[in-house]
Amino acid sequence: MIPSVGWGVLHLYYRVDRERAERDAGAAKHVRDAVAALEADGHQALVLAMLGHKADLGVIALGPDLARLQRFQNELLAAPLIPEYSYVSLTEQSEYGATEDDERARLTREEGVSGEELESRLAVWRDRIEHYRENRVHPNLPAKRSCCFYPMSKRRATDANWFELPFDERKDLMAGHARVGRTYAGRVVQLITGSTGIDDWEWGVTLLADDPAALKEIVYEMRFDPVSARYAEFGPFFTGLVLDPADACARVGLGSGDEAR
């Protein structure tokens, strides 16, 4: 099943079944084989050794075919793993993204650009925004060293109902929120996926960074932005180390089978 827009994204978190793992000397091979087969079919997967006790092993999988992702999640259960938490979402464009008219007005108002220079600057902007939009819908997740994921929704409180705000006000607020996020370019990779109607929350937020402190800093700074401070509700946070599947499995106690040789 291929969505008309966007890719499917699965966040899967497991505990290791220690009794089964002790009996299955090659338990890690089930995970390695499932990941390799998924990637061979044109999908992506990141494997994490989780920090804390919410889960032992995490897997983030994404790609165009939801049926293939569903088969992948079942293939992982050949390993001695107990599902602990999962989240289903789709990659998507932001409805609050800047339009060419927005950029034209900004360049004219803030930088006094006009004429041929304005058209030249807009051409550069169009190329950049096309790449950005493509990467939002069809992302290529880099293997940064650490990752956190959390689901979130917009608040519907009587005195702070995001969905009762006029669109232009929501767009202005989100533009300010995005400016904070852009200050972390190069340090933090952000994947924002939509889950309204397909899971318990409305969005999933995946953050990847080589420096774990950057994950804490970006979330902390954004908490002071009105979009988060007044209008956001957050679910549980899952944080782990992004590793080669074999290394992640070894970290959580899934045997490779090599020990018996």
Just list the catalytic residues: 150
Q: Which string of DSSP letters, residue by residue, matches 159-196?
A: TEEGGGS-HHHHHHHHHHHHHHHHTTTTT-EEEEEE-T
What is d(CA 208, CA 149) in angstroms, rounded to the nearest whole number? 9
Return d(Cα 151, Cα 200) in angstroms, integer: 9
CA distance 83 to 58: 10
SS3 assignment, position 242: strand
172: Cα within 13 Å, side-chain hemisphere: 5
Q: Cα dihedral angle (206, 211, 213, 214), rounded to 10 degrees?
A: -50
For residues 28 and 246, is the Cβ–Cβ distance under 8 A?
yes
